[in-house]
């Protein structure tokens, strides 16, 4: 089925007919998630790997469209205020250029996310530095740059807030009535009544900084506008249908007049979940204005300064324990910095809230969380999505609790781990196996934790380099929270083209994590073809259905499951109506498809999301099954702190995790290793320096990520407990590994130095401020 020939008219509609004819697939046998498999679980080669290795993969900046112009953005230089005047330097011949402002927006001037508070282009007022005010396009890239510099904007500045604390003071209101973008209250049992009975009460405050995704490919979009066809956008993005939805709103166009196509994407990590909706709107507005395709690809300085980052956070814990070190109560307060507009702050806050109590059984829990608005570039999705912030706090806090009550941090955790049948803070019963003890045992054994700690304690007495080990134990909820998946209502499946290609039909995208590979593995396995016989349909909203966004570690589990079901459904369709035998060769399969096509006109099998039974979630009370499944992990970090330079370096890192079925061991290990490397950066290297709300270190030379010489050896071990509702038993994997490194590393630093650091990124300058002063006399004199 050629998308061009069929126009953009809904393939999903036609396939819905097919589905209804053959009924929902509750009747189809589901392959046992424990069954022996040929392809799933094997280290098959990356589906699009060869093109990437040959340098043939086409990223958006590699693509040219006939008659293409280039676009650029004029951005606010103040954090908050009114736009008084916009002056266009007369020395420029502005007739050559296309200029677009808020006035040119045909539909609604907002980016469709959760709320609609973020404008596509600022209209009379700006709320953060680098906010987009107007857009310029020209055939010549150099001329566009000169034109941007030739726009003079005068502002009437307003007071701005830049930190959580400033926003909390509420003496300057920058969003809504009270600066609060979102708040949650989660309550279990009776926290206030628990303090009296407590043998120990321990408090702590933990802070995390902003973090930049630093995908090596900057954001980029090419857009075209046609009065008949509407808007078409190609680009580096995670969620074609998010962009599609946003473009519909900005242009006031119906579904079939907007088409979004993902190009090969050079890294995303959440940084291309929502931002591309803004960029695509910009490029398309210019395309409409100038009548030509418009390419907008950011350079590194602009991408760093103007696009989303991880939410900074402050988490406070107050914990009650009994005399044996068992948790009695947790009182947790979370504050995140959401930036100037709400964007994804509510869902990030939700995940932070739900991950804040850690993998522990505790009868009384209260979490009060708030996302605060500041006049900074809106923060957004980044691998972990609130969990790294929350896990940093609880896992650091557990070590502080252990120290305060005189208990070993490993034993404290063991004593309080969740087990099968326990309930979480949301009263979710752990019905799937919880094997934290086993993961912990293995991590301790692999890292030789106890023996090393003893040895380091000895060596540290005389060595200038202090060594220590630290652990973190945690879970990551797979997929969307609560009823999120029901709301997404994903549709996905497989088809066979007239040319005899079996294709996976999803809007789930590849950006390195392995979507193309694992989904074709699943389809090939479930249909009964070889891996090479199945390809991905182009990630084009004109061709594929909406299988939901490629976020929340949901692709293998949720979408994989849909592909599994749709594949089985396809085989059943061919058996019933095209004479496909019980056992078949590849040739027989495609012959049956040809016969089927002769009757039905096409060979398509789609399935819609079905929630696992007994998913109960109360969005108001924050109670019930918060996530359909959890991935679990224990991390161990070995860190060396050099007392000459105050630098901490990770010398070695161990991770033991349970993510359901491992669909592809090479890709899965790659996800863990990459996530850990980012987590190490989060802990020790990556700092966003804001000056007046603008990122001052917006270059790769001064936003520091670890190089090949900085990353330690990383050990990865999987335990597998297939999850019956995930694709071939898979649960989420992509975000899990970013949750553990920061607390494990800072726990190791505490072990090495005896000093409790509670803030990341922890830089040598910060370590120096707290390590024992070597020569008090000189230090005082030198100040």
Neighbours of 454 (CB within 10 A): 10
Q: Looking at beta carbons only, is 228 or 765 nearer to another protein?
A: 765
Shorter beta-carbon distance to another protein: residue 266 or 542 = 266
If the CB atoms of residues 484 and 514 are measured against another protein, the closer one turns out to be 514
CA distances (Å), origin 291, targets 68, 95, 220:
10, 14, 19
**Per-residue tokens: 103:** 């006035």
Residue 155 or 685: the one with the smaller Cβ distance to another protein is 685
DSSP lists the bridge partners of residue 629 as 478
Q: In the numeric block, which tokens belong to residue 454?
A: 């003893």
CB of 768 to another protein, least distance (A): 6
Determine contact, residues 562/25, Cβ cutoff 8 Å: no
Q: Which is nearer to another protein, 57 or 201 (CB)?
A: 57
H or E, element range at 125? strand 125-126
Nearer to another protein, 215 or 757 (CB): 215
SS3 call for 417: strand
| Least separation in angstroms between CB 753 and another protein | 15
Q: Which is nearer to another protein, 342 or 460 (CB)?
A: 460
CB of residue 148 to another protein, shortest distance in Å: 10
Residues 240/540, Cβ–Cβ less than 8 Å: yes
**Distance between CA atoms of residues 320 and 763, nearest Å:** 31
User: How many whole angstroms separate alpha carbon 61 and alpha carbon 711?
Assistant: 30
**CB 657 to another protein: min, Å:** 15
> What's the min distance (Å) between Cβ of 764 and another protein?
7
Q: What value, to the nearest 5°, has the Cα angle with vertex 413 and ends 412 and 414?
A: 95
CA distance 353 to 183: 10
Nearest Cα to 634, choosing from 365, 328, 414?
Answer: 414
CB of 51 to another protein, least distance (A): 8
Closest to another protein by CB, 149 vs 445, is 149
d(CA 626, CA 356): 13
Q: Between 402 and 690, name the residue whose CB sits nearer to another protein.
A: 690
Compare residues 458 and 782 and give the one whose CB is closer to another protein. Answer: 782
- Give the shortest CB-120-to-another protein separation in angstroms: 25
User: Shortest distance, CB of residue 697 to another protein, whole angstroms?
Assistant: 6
User: 400 or 739, CB closer to another protein?
Assistant: 739
Residue 244 in tokens: 């599609």
Shortest CA distance to 111 belongs to which of 225, 231, 245? 245
Among left, alpha and beta (phi > 0; psi -120 to 50; other), residue 55 is: left
Q: Which residues of 288-301 are buried (b: 16+ CB within 10 A; e: fewer)?
A: bbbebbbbbbbeee
Least distance in angstroms from the C-beta of 687 to another protein = 10
Compute the least distance from the CB of residue 329 to another protein, in Å. Answer: 38
* Shortest separation between residue 240's beta carbon and another protein, angstroms: 17
**Which helix (H) or strand (E) is 151 found in, with range?**
strand 151-157
End-to-end alpha carbon distance in the chain: 75
In 3D space, the residue among 446, 451, 409 whose CA is nearest the CA of residue 750 turns out to be 409
Residues 6+ apart with CB under 8 A from 698: 300, 301, 304, 305
Shortest reach from residue 673's CB to another protein, in Å: 4
The DSSP element (H or E) to which 183 belongs, if any, is strand 180-188
- Angle, vertex CA 655, rays to CA 564 and CA 627, nearest 5: 45
Nearer to another protein (CB atom), residue 72 or residue 287: 72
Q: For the purposes of burial, counting CB atoms within 10 Å of the CB of 87, is it exposed (0-12), middle (13-18) or buried (19 or more)?
A: exposed
Considering the complex, state which of residue 53 and residue 581 has its C-beta at the smaller distance from another protein: 53
Token pair recorded at residue 738: 């970013």
Question: CB of 102 within 8 A of CB of 121?
Answer: yes
Q: Which is nearer to another protein, 13 or 780 (CB)?
A: 780
Query: Closest distance between another protein and the C-beta of residue 62, in Å?
Result: 4
CB of 219 vs another protein, minimal distance in Å = 12
Only one residue has tokens 């992990």, namely 633
Counting Cα atoms < 13 Å in the Cβ hemisphere of 404 gives 20
Residue nearer to another protein on the CB measure, 451 or 769: 769
| Helix-helix angle 387-405:345-355, to 10 degrees | 30
Question: What is the Cα–Cα distance from 215 to 307, expressed in whole angstroms?
Answer: 12
Asked whether the beta carbons of 732 and 478 are under 8 A apart, the reply is: yes
Q: What is the DSSP letter of 647?
A: -
Q: Given the complex with another protein, which of 614 and 707 has the nearer CB atom?
A: 707
Give me the least distance between CB of 759 and another protein, in Å please.
16
Q: At closest approach, how far in Å is the CB of 701 from another protein? A: 5
Give whole-number Cα distances, 408 to 398, 441, 468, 638, in Å. 10, 15, 14, 17
Cβ proximity to another protein, 83 vs 677, nearer residue: 677
* Least Cβ distance, residue 556 to another protein (angstroms): 15
What is d(CA 521, CA 728) in angstroms, rounded to the nearest whole number?
Answer: 10
Q: Tell me the helix, strand and coil percentages in the chain, rounded to 5.
A: 35, 25, 40
Q: How far is the CB of 82 from another protein (least distance, A)?
A: 29
Q: How many CB atoms lie within 10 A of CB 24?
A: 13
**DSSP type of residue 55:** T
Instruction: For residue 760, report the phi and psi dihedrals to the nearest 5 degrees.
Output: -125, 150
When the beta carbons of 152 and 702 are compared against another protein, the nearer one is 702
CB burial class (10 A; 0-12, 13-18, 19+) of residue 54?
exposed
**In whole angstroms, what is the distance from residue 303 CA to residue 356 CA?**
31
């Amino acid at each position: 089925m050629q998308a061009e020939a069929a126009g953009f008219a809904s393939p999903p509609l036609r396939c819905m007919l097919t589905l209804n004819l053959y009924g929902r697939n509750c009747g189809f046998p589901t392959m046992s998630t424990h069954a022996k498999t040929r392809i799933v679980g094997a280290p098959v080669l990356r589906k699009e790997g060869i093109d990437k290795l040959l340098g043939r993969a086409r990223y958006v900046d590699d693509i040219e469209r006939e008659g293409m112009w280039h676009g650029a953005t004029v951005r606010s230089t103040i954090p908050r205020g009114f736009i008084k005047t916009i002056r266009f330097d007369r020395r420029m011949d502005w007739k050559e250029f296309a200029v677009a402002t808020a006035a040119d927006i045909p539909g609604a001037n907002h980016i469709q996310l959760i709320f609609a508070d973020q404008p596509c282009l600022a209209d009379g007022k700006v709320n953060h530095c680098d906010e987009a005010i107007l857009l310029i396009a020209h055939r010549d890239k150099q001329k566009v740059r000169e034109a941007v510099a030739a726009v003079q904007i005068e502002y009437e500045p307003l007071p701005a807030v830049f930190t959580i604390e400033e926003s909390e003071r509420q003496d300057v209101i920058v969003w809504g009535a009270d600066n609060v973008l979102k708040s949650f209250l989660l309550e279990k049992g009776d926290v206030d009544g628990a303090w009296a009975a407590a043998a120990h009460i321990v408090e702590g405050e933990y802070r995390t900084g902003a973090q930049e995704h630093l995908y090596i490919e900057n954001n980029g979009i090419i857009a075209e506008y046609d009065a008949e066809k509407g808007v078409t956008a190609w680009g580096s993005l995670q969620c074609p249908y998010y962009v599609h939805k946003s473009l519909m709103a900005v242009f006031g166009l119906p579904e079939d007049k907007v088409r979004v196509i993902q190009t090969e994407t050079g890294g995303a990590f959440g940084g291309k979940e929502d931002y591309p909706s803004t960029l695509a709107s910009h490029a398309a507005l210019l395309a409409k204005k100038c009548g030509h395709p418009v390419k907008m690809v950011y350079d590194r300085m602009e991408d760093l300064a103007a696009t989303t980052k991880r939410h900074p956070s402050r988490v406070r814990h107050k914990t009650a324990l009994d005399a044996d070190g068992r948790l009695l109560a947790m009182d947790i307060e979370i504050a995140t910095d959401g930036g100037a507009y709400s964007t994804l702050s509510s869902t990030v806050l939700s995940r932070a809230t739900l991950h804040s109590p850690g993998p522990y059984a505790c009868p009384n829990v209260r979490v009060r969380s708030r996302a605060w608005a500041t006049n900074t570039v809106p923060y957004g999705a980044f691998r972990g999505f609130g969990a790294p912030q929350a896990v940093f706090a609880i896992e650091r806090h557990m070590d502080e609790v252990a120290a305060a009550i005189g208990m070993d941090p490993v034993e404290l955790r063991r004593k309080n781990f969740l087990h099968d049948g326990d309930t979480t803070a949301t009263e979710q019963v752990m019905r799937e196996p919880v094997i934290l003890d086993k993961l912990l045992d293995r991590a301790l054994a692999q890292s030789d934790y106890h023996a090393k700690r003893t040895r380091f304690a000895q060596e540290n007495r005389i060595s200038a380099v202090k060594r220590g080990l630290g652990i973190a134990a945690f879970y990551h909820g797979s997929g969307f929270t609560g009823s999120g998946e029901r709301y997404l209502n994903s549709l996905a499946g497989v088809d066979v083209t007239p040319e005899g290609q079996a294709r996976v039909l999803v809007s789930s995208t590849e950006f390195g994590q392995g979507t193309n590979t694992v989904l074709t593995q699943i389809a090939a396995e479930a249909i009964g073809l070889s891996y090479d016989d199945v390809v991905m349909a182009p990630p084009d909203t004109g061709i594929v259905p909406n299988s939901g966004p490629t976020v929340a570690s949901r692709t293998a589990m949720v979408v994989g499951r849909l592909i599994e079901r749709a594949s089985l459904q396809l085989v059943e369709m061919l058996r019933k109506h095209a004479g496909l035998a019980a056992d078949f060769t590849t040739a027989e399969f495609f012959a049956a498809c040809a016969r089927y096509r002769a009757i039905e006109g096409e060979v398509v099998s789609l399935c819609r999301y079905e929630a696992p039974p007994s998913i109960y979630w109360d969005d108001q009370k924050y109670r019930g099954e918060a996530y359909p499944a959890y991935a679990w992990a224990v991390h161990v970090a070995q860190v060396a702190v050099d007392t000459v330079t105050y630098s901490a370096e990770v010398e070695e890192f161990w991770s033991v995790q349970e993510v359901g079925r491992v669909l592809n061991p090479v890709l899965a290990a790659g996800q863990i290793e990459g996530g850990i490397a980012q987590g190490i950066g989060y802990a020790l290297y990556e700092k966003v320096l804001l000056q007046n709300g603008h990122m001052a270190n917006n270059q790769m030379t001064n936003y520091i990520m670890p190089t090949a010489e900085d990353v330690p050896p990383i050990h990865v071990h999987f335990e597998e407990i297939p999850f019956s509702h995930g694709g071939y038993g898979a649960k989420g994997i992509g975000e899990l590994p970013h949750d553990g490194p920061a607390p494990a590393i800072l726990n190791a630093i505490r072990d090495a130095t005896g000093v409790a650091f509670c803030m990341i990124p922890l830089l040598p300058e910060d370590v120096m401020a707290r390590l024992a002063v070597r020569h008090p006399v000189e230090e005082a004199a030198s100040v």
